[in-house]
Amino acid sequence: MMWVTNPASYCTYLNRLWYEFTGQSEGEALGLGWAKATHPDDGQRAKDAFLSANAAQEPFRIEYRLRRADGTYRWTIDAANPFFGEDGAFLGHVGSVIDIHERREAEEALRASEARFQAIANSVDQLIWSARPDGYHDYYNDRWYDYTGTAPGSTDGEAWNDVFHPEDRERAWAVWRGSLETGEPYRIEYRLRHCSGHYRWVLGRAQPVRDTEGRITRWFGSCTDIEEIVEAREVLTRSRAELTREVEARTEALMAAEAALRQSQKMEAVGQLTGGLAHDFNNLLTAITGSLELLTARLAEGRLNNVDRYVGAAQDAARRAAALTHRLLAFSRQQTLAPQPTNVDRLIAGMVELVQRTVGPGISVETIATPDLWNTLVDRSQLENALLNLCLNARDAMSQGGKLTIETTNCWLDDQAARLRDLPPGPYVLLSVSDNGTGMSPDVVARAFDPFFTTKPIGQGTGLGLSMIYGFVRQSNGQVRIHSKVGQGTTMRLYLPRHAGEAQDAEAAPERTLSAPRAAPDETVLVVDDEPTVRMLVVELLEDLGYTALEAADGPSGLQVLRSETRIDLLVTDVGLPGGMNGRQVAEAARTLRPGLKVLFITGYAESAVLSHCHLDPGMHVMTKPFTIMALAERIKTLVPG
C-alpha cells in the first residue's frame, strides 16, 4: 500500500491496494481520515508519530494494527520518507504499508515460549545450560551464575576449565568430547567450583536435541549438586571399612585371649599333673631304692632267704612307675599306638580288682561279660586307661556310694544306627560303664569331651579324662557316646569295631625267670644305644639268652660294624642317638648295606615322633620304653628264633 502527503500533513494520495485492504472510500481516507482505519489503541500513537515526523520533515517508521475490510485487524509496518522540491522546499512524505501480521505473531509466540523456558529453567534447583552442536556453551540459567558465582557471559564457550576441579578436568572434557562425537547422552560426576570457593560434587548430564532429519541442533545439559549424596556414600563405605577393621581387631584380640586362656589352663593342668606325678614317683622311687638297699644289706650279710620279697617290691614299684609314665605319654599323645587284637572281657577281668580298690568299698562293682564276645583292635594300655578313667568319673559322681556296672555286648549297627553315631555300619564291640550317680545336665554333656572341661574343684579334676578317651576311641575307628540324666546316673558307651583276627593272649602274667630256650651260639645281635646302662642290660640279656652281642654307642660306630664281614641277625637300636644320625637313619643305612636285616627300635616318648606318621617297612619293629627285660627277651626271640 502506498500513500503521499503534503507539507500540511494532508494525505493527498492512497493507492488502490489501500482502499481494497481497508474498504475505505477515497473521501474517508484522505486528509487524516486514514487514521480511522487503525486500531483504537494504536490510532493516536500512529497519528502522533506521523505528525511529528511531518513537522520535523524526517523519515519515520511505525508498527500498528490496521482494520481490514472484513473488520479484523492486522499488524502492519508503515515506513515513510520526506521528499523535497528542486529548491529544497519540503513537499511532504511518501510512505508504504506492509502487512506483517504473520511475522509479528511468530515473533510473539517465540517470545512467549522463550519466557516460558526462562521461567522453567530459572525455577528449578539444577544448573541448566545449552550448547551448540560444536560444543560451544551459549546459555546458562540464573542458578548457574548464582551457584558458580560467575558473571553472566564469563563461562560461555570453553571457560568451563575454571569451574572444573583441576583433577576432574581431563576426565570431564574427555566424556564431553565423546558425547559430541557420538551423540550419546553425557553423564558424569565431577567437582564444580562453588561460589563459596569450595568444590562440590555435581552430576552433569546432557542430552542432544535433533531436528526432523536427526541432525543435532543443540545440547541441553544440567548439573545437579550431589555433594551430600557423595558424602553419605563416603561415610557409608568408610564406616563399613571401619566396622570390618573393628571386627577383625576384636576377633583377633578375642582369639589371643582364648589362646592365652587355653595355654594357662593347660599349664595349670600340667602343673597339677607333674605335681601329682612327682609325688607318686618319689613314693615309687623310695620303694625301689629302699628294696635295693635292703637287698644289698641282705646280700652283704649272706642272708639269702626271703630276698625275693625285696626284688618283687622293687619290680612292682617300677612297674607302677612305668604305668604312670604311660599315662603321661597317653596324655601328651606322643606314644606310639600299638593296636592289638583284644578281647575286652578278658581285659576287664584283669582290671576288676584294681577298679574295686580304686572306687572304694562304698561302691559295688558289677561286670556283665558276653560269651563269645568279638575281638577288637586296640591299644590295650590305652583301653585300660580309658576304662579306669570312666570308673574314676563314676566314683566321683557317686560320692555317697552306689553301683558301677561294666558291661559288654556284640552289636551290629545298621545304616541308620551307624549314621546316628557317625560310624560306618557294621559289627562293633560295645563297652558300657554305668553309674547311678549325679548324672550330667545337657550343658555338661555337650562339653564333657572338651579338653580341660571339668566341673570339679581345682586339684580334683583336670578335664582331660574324657578328651583323652575320645581321642583314643576315634583313633581306634570307634565312637563314644554319653547317656545321662541328672539325678539318675550316667552310661558311657564305647563302640569299638570288630576285628576278625584271634586275640593274642598277652595278658597272662609274664614269667618271672628267664627260662628261654638258648639261641644258636653264632646268632649275632648288634645293639646301638648311647645309654651305657641300657646297653649293658640288653647285652647281658642277649648273652644270657645265648646270642653273640655286639655294641655301639652311636650311629656311625654302629655302621662301622655293619660294614664289616661279621654275621648280624638283628639290629637293636635306640631312636634318639648322638653323633648326627638317629636310629631310623641307622636302620635305613643298615638296610642298604644288608638288605632284609631285621630291626628292632626301642623308643622313649620324645623320639616316637621320628617313627610315627610313617609306615615301618616289613621286618622293622618297635618297642616303647619303659619295658621289662622279659618283654624284650620275648620280642627278640620272636625276631631271631634260633
* Shortest spacing between CB 399 and Mg ion, in angstroms: 14
Judge if the upstream peptide bond of residue 556 is cis by omega within 30 degrees of 0. Answer: no
Q: 3-class secondary structure for 513-554? A: CCCCCCCCCCCEEEEECCCHHHHHHHHHHHHHHCCEEEEECC
Residue with smaller CB distance to Mg ion, 141 or 484: 484
* Nearest alpha-carbon partner for 192 in 166, 153, 155, 231: 166
Q: Does 221 bind Mg ion (CB under 5 A)?
A: no
Dump the DSSP string for 164-206: B-TTTHHHHHHHHHHHHHH-PPEEEEEEEE-TTSSEEEEEEEE
The DSSP letter of residue 333 is T
* Shortest spacing between CB 488 and ligand ADP, in angstroms: 10
**Burial code of 236-254, b = ≥16 C-beta within 10 A, e = fewer?**
eeeeeeeeeeeeeeeeeee
CA 391 to chain centre: 43
Rounded-to-integer distance, Cα 244 and Cα 239, Å: 8
Cβ-contact 391, 402 below 8 angstroms: no
Residue with smaller CB distance to ligand ADP, 473 or 538: 473
Q: Does 465 bind Mg ion (CB under 5 A)?
A: yes
Residue with smaller CB distance to ligand ADP, 223 or 433: 433
Q: Which stretch binds Mg ion (CB under 5 A): 253-261, 465-473, 616-624, 625-633?
A: 465-473
Chain positions contacting ligand ADP, by CB under 6 A: 389, 393-394, 397, 435, 437-440, 444, 448, 453-456, 461-467, 490
Q: Does 490 bind Mg ion (CB under 5 A)?
A: no
Assigned C-alpha cell, 333 = 599323645
* Shortest spacing between CB 327 and ligand ADP, in angstroms: 13
Say which entry of Mg ion, ligand ADP, none residue 490 contacts (CB below 5 to 8 A, set by partner kind).
ligand ADP
Q: Does 471 bind Mg ion (CB under 5 A)?
A: no
Q: Does 92 bind Mg ion (CB under 5 A)?
A: no
3-state secondary structure of 372: coil
Main-chain dihedrals φ then ψ at residue 365, nearest 5 degrees? -110, 125
Rounded-to-integer distance, Cα 318 and Cα 309, Å: 14
* Shortest spacing between CB 268 and ligand ADP, in angstroms: 12
Say which entry of Mg ion, ligand ADP, none residue 448 contacts (CB below 5 to 8 A, set by partner kind).
ligand ADP
* Nearest alpha-carbon partner for 339 in 478, 531, 456, 543: 478
Q: Which stretch binds Mg ion (CB under 5 A): 49-57, 96-104, 200-208, 391-399?
A: 391-399
* Shortest spacing between CB 326 and ligand ADP, in angstroms: 18
Q: Which amino acid is it at 52?
A: S
Residue with smaller CB distance to ligand ADP, 404 or 600: 404
Residue with smaller CB distance to ligand ADP, 184 or 450: 450
Residue with smaller CB distance to ligand ADP, 478 or 497: 478
Residue with smaller CB distance to ligand ADP, 431 or 448: 448
* Shortest spacing between CB 447 and ligand ADP, in angstroms: 8
Rounded-to-integer distance, Cα 65 and Cα 417, Å: 109
Residue with smaller CB distance to ligand ADP, 466 or 587: 466
* Shortest spacing between CB 369 and ligand ADP, in angstroms: 21
Residue 586 exposed, middle or buried by CB count within 10 Å (0-12, 13-18, 19+):
buried
Say which entry of Mg ion, ligand ADP, none residue 476 contacts (CB below 5 to 8 A, set by partner kind).
none
Say which entry of ligand ADP, Mg ion, none residue 435 contacts (CB below 5 to 8 A, set by partner kind).
ligand ADP
Residue with smaller CB distance to Mg ion, 121 or 351: 351
* Shortest spacing between CB 358 and Mg ion, in angstroms: 12
Say which entry of Mg ion, ligand ADP, none residue 558 contacts (CB below 5 to 8 A, set by partner kind).
none
Rounded-to-integer distance, Cα 141 and Cα 156, Å: 12
Residue nearest to ligand ADP (CB): 465
Residue with smaller CB distance to ligand ADP, 221 or 465: 465
With CB under 5 A as the contact rule, the residue among 393, 476, 490, 573 that binds Mg ion is 393
* Shortest spacing between CB 243 and Mg ion, in angstroms: 44
* Shortest spacing between CB 408 and ligand ADP, in angstroms: 18
Rounded-to-integer distance, Cα 594 and Cα 563, Å: 9
Residue 357 exposed, middle or buried by CB count within 10 Å (0-12, 13-18, 19+):
exposed
Residues at the site binding Mg ion, with contacts judged by CB under 5 A = 393, 465
